[in-house]
Amino acid sequence: MRAKKKRPIFLSEGERSLFMALLATALFGAGVALAIVMRFDDAALMGRQLSPYELWIVLSGAIGAASALYLLRSRIGQPHQDNPVRAALRFLTTTVLTSALGAVIGGTMALPLYGTMFGPFTLIVILAGSPFLLLLWCANQFAAHKLLRTWHSERDSIFAQSAPIAPLMRRADRAGLIPRP
């Protein structure tokens, strides 16, 4: 009896872009959570192994950051050709929203109730205390924005009417070939 071969999973370019944005954001969320753990305990990671709870905090940071990006994916990466100032303001707004929502989700997972409140506060303190980490986080958010642009343009192209078909559809409509409800 032959075993069935599994077909490889093929993702479109936009889906790959979404996956890469989520993965990069999760890794950076884990990195920020690790910086939080190391700030709370100097011996963590350097003097000893991370405890299971500290590993859970790092995992919660990764899940929170990726979840926030996934929940706000419709707001991130939208093209704005009309006004560059408006586009920059929307990018900054969604970056702050993504960071805050990721901190709320990750904080709630790490420490229910108290983490919901202290997650965003801790993120602000860590990013304010480490300008290089803030710069990296902003670069990650900008890269996610660019990657999600590809995903949005692919999704928008699905519903766009192609140019050669539009004149044929108008002719068919005028000729009465398209049934009306």
pLDDT value of position 162:
56
pTM comes to 0.78
pLDDT value of position 29:
94
pLDDT value of position 169:
66
**What mean pLDDT is predicted for residues 23-31?**
95
pLDDT value of position 63:
96
**What mean pLDDT is predicted for residues 95-104?**
94
**What mean pLDDT is predicted for residues 150-157?**
83
pLDDT value of position 68:
96
Q: What is the mean pLDDT of the chain?
A: 84
Statement: residue 116 has pLDDT above 80: yes
| pLDDT greater at residue 135 or residue 175 | 135
pLDDT value of position 86:
82
**What mean pLDDT is predicted for residues 129-148?**
92
| pLDDT greater at residue 24 or residue 81 | 24
Q: Can you read off the two tokens belonging to residue 99?
A: 């960071």
